[in-house]
């Protein structure tokens, strides 16, 4: 296995626990710079920064400021299948991070994990 393949394998099993989305975005972009990063949050998926601009340009999604100097866009979870189908049809690589069930409802902490990598 190459160094890149080893990093990708290890990263796929990583659990992001209540980390800011921008940190997750930059962490994944550091090893997958050409992939779009789709992060599940409740009943929506979020894309940030350059990925949000891609969604704006390619799919006419509206972009919003989510935090200081962070651009984002999103879509409801029921739209994920259609979005992934479009991305596969244009052969654009992507990573999907799914929100895991909250094991401790008394806390407001959420865990997310890479559940799909294309390209």
Q: What pLDDT, in 10s, does the model give residues 22-51?
A: 999 999 999 899 999 999 998 999 999 999
Q: Give dist(CA 96, CA 87) in Å, integer.
A: 12
Based on the number of CB atoms within 10 Å of its own CB, is 7 exposed (0-12), middle (13-18) or buried (19 or more)?
middle
For residue 51, report the phi and psi dihedrals to the nearest 5 degrees: -65, -40
The strand ranges marked E within 15-83 are 15-17, 36-41, 44-48, 64-67, 70-76
The CATH code of the domain that includes 73 is 3.40.1170.10
Nearest to 66 by CA among 51, 46, 83: 46
Half-sphere exposure of 86 (CA within 13 A, CB side): 10
For residue 11, report the phi and psi dihedrals to the nearest 5 degrees: -70, -30
pLDDT at 1: 42
For the whole prediction, is pTM greater than 0.75? yes
> Could you list the residue range(s) of the whole structural domain that residue 54 is in?
3-118
Q: Is the pLDDT of residue 96 over 50?
A: yes
The answer for residues whose C-beta is within 8 angstroms of residue 66's C-beta and 6 or more apart is 21, 46, 48, 72
Q: Total domain count for the chain?
A: 1
Q: What pLDDT, in 10s, does the model give residues 38-90?
A: 999 989 999 999 999 999 999 999 998 876 788 999 999 999 999 999 999 99
Structure confidence at residue 11 as a pLDDT band (50, 70, 90): low
């Amino acid at each position: 296995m190459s160094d890149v393949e080893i990093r990708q394998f290890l990263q796929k099993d990583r659990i992001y626990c209540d980390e800011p989305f921008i940190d997750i975005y930059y962490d994944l972009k550091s090893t997958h710079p050409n992939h779009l990063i789709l992060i599940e949050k409740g009943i929506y998926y979020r894309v940030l920064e350059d990925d949000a601009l891609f969604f704006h340009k390619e799919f006419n999604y509206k972009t919003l400021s989510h935090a200081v100097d962070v651009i984002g866009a999103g879509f409801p979870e029921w739209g994920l299948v259609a979005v992934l189908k479009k991305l596969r049809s244009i052969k654009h690589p992507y990573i999907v991070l799914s929100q895991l069930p909250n094991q401790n409802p008394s806390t407001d902490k959420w865990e997310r994990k890479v559940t799909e990598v294309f390209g």
